[in-house]
């Protein structure tokens, strides 16, 4: 088995829980996720099957779209509803105030990740350090927020849709938006509706999953042009050697009808960078 799965992750499961479940369903150990989704979160979770697990770094950099709910009135150390309350009593801002502040959080911005996150600090995950009671300081990171829209407001809650770059923490956007309004808020719901080219409407729940839901590399990587290599260079590709090729860029490399993986064309040569041939 080789390919990509677009899984609908339900809330209450970790991404690793989903991987374990899919391994059992497909009866294979070669399954891995292409980037986590918070346990409370639901929606699109991309999994690689077989050697497609080697695409982790490729998919990790894809843009994402989320729908989220922010609840005003308190702040927690985890920035969601799971942690300990560290501040309370914040006011509920008006719709006009919120709309006025949203543009401050679009474009390229500096964002401090949550203390309870998988960000590495001297080789350790930040949440492991925070849970041990040690002090941890995370430096701000550059992220891109392409769109930050208010979709609903009700009592002390708002719902938003966010299109952002990889590495953006929606919990941090919640915290920072609230602080800019002189109040507190936590993220109380999140749904990933798109990751790269993968949409929630095309995702499959684990209870409905079968081997037929595995997408081929060609189906899963439509953004990559296919580089069809002459069959006389088949052995070159098998042995990781460069082959002559007249175009520059990133390609899905194919020879004799077999997909070898993702390659890079440069200076008249093509080399497979991510080898996935079964």
pLDDT tens digits, residue range 94-112?
999 999 999 999 999 999 9
Nearest to 189 by CA among 16, 64, 89, 71: 71
Quote the percentage of the chain above a pLDDT of 90: 81
As a whole number, mean pLDDT of residues 52-62 equals 89
Range(s) within the chain of domains with CATH label 2.30.130.10? 224-275
Tally the C-alpha atoms within 13 A of residue 115's C-alpha that lie toward its C-beta. 17
pLDDT band at residue 58, thresholds of 50, 70 and 90? confident
Quote the percentage of the chain above a pLDDT of 70: 95
Q: What is the rounded distance in angstroms from the CA atom of residue 40 to the CA atom of residue 13?
A: 7
pLDDT for the residue 3: 94
pLDDT for the residue 109: 97
pLDDT for the residue 82: 86
Indicate if the pLDDT at residue 242 is higher than 80: yes
Block residue for tokens 């299109």:
163
Give the homologous superfamily in CATH for domain 64-195: Pseudouridine synthase (3.30.2350.10)
Q: Does domain 3-62+197-219 have CATH number 3.30.2350.10?
A: yes
Catalytic residue among 38, 80, 176, 213: 38
Q: Is 80 a catalytic residue?
A: no
Of residues 250 and 134, more confidence is placed in 250
Indicate if the pLDDT at residue 1 is higher than 90: no
As a whole number, mean pLDDT of residues 26-39 equals 91
Q: What is the model's pTM?
A: 0.89
pLDDT for the residue 35: 86
Q: What is the rounded distance in angstroms from the CA atom of residue 242 to the CA atom of residue 220?
A: 25
On whether the CB atoms of residues 18 and 45 are closer than 8 A, the answer is: yes
| Three-state DSSP state, 171 | helix
pLDDT for the residue 190: 97
Indicate if the pLDDT at residue 92 is higher than 90: yes
Range(s) within the chain of domains with CATH label 3.30.2350.10? 3-62+197-219, 64-195
Indicate if the pLDDT at residue 184 is higher than 80: yes
As a whole number, mean pLDDT of residues 206-218 equals 95
Please give the mean pLDDT across all residues of the chain.
92
Which of 29-38, 99-108, 124-133, 188-197 is predicted least confidently? 124-133
On whether the CB atoms of residues 8 and 200 are closer than 8 A, the answer is: yes
pLDDT for the residue 43: 97
As a whole number, mean pLDDT of residues 197-216 equals 96
Question: What does residue 232 show for φ and ψ, rounded to 5 degrees?
Answer: -70, -15
pLDDT tens digits, residue range 108-166?
999 998 876 667 766 777 667 667 767 777 789 999 999 999 999 999 999 999 999 99
As a whole number, mean pLDDT of residues 41-48 equals 96
pLDDT band at residue 66, thresholds of 50, 70 and 90? very high
What is the CATH T-level fold of the domain 224-275, as seen in this structure?
2.30.130
């Amino acid at each position: 088995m080789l390919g990509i799965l677009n899984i609908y992750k339900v809330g209450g499961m970790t991404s690793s829980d989903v991987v374990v479940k899919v391994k059992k369903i497909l009866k294979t150990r070669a399954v891995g996720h292409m980037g986590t989704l918070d346990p409370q979160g639901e929606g699109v979770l991309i999994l690689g099957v077989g050697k497609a697990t080697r695409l982790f770094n490729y998919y990790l950099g894809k843009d994402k779209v989320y729908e989220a709910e922010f609840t005003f009135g308190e702040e927690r150390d985890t920035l969601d509803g799971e942690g300990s309350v560290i501040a309370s009593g914040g006011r509920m801002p008006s719709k006009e105030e919120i709309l006025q502040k949203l543009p401050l959080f679009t474009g390229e911005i500096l964002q401090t990740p949550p203390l309870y996150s998988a960000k590495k600090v001297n080789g350790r995950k930040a949440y492991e350090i925070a849970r041990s009671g040690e002090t941890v300081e995370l430096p701000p990171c550059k992220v891109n927020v392409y769109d930050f829209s208010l979709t609903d407001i009700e009592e002390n809650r708002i719902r938003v849709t966010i299109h952002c770059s990889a590495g953006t923490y929606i919990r941090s956007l919640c915290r920072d938006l609230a602080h800019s309004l002189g109040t507190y808020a936590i993220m109380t719901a999140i749904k990933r509706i798109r990751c790269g080219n993968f949409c929630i409407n095309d995702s499959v729940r684990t209870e409905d999953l079968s081997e037929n839901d595995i997408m081929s590399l060609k189906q899963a990587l439509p953004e990559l042009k296919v580089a069809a290599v002459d069959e006389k260079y088949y052995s070159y590709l098998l042995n990781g050697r460069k082959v002559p090729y007249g175009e520059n860029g990133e390609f899905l490399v194919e020879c004799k009808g077999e997909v070898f993986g993702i390659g890079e064309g440069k200076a008249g040569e093509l080399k497979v960078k991510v080898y996935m041939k079964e």
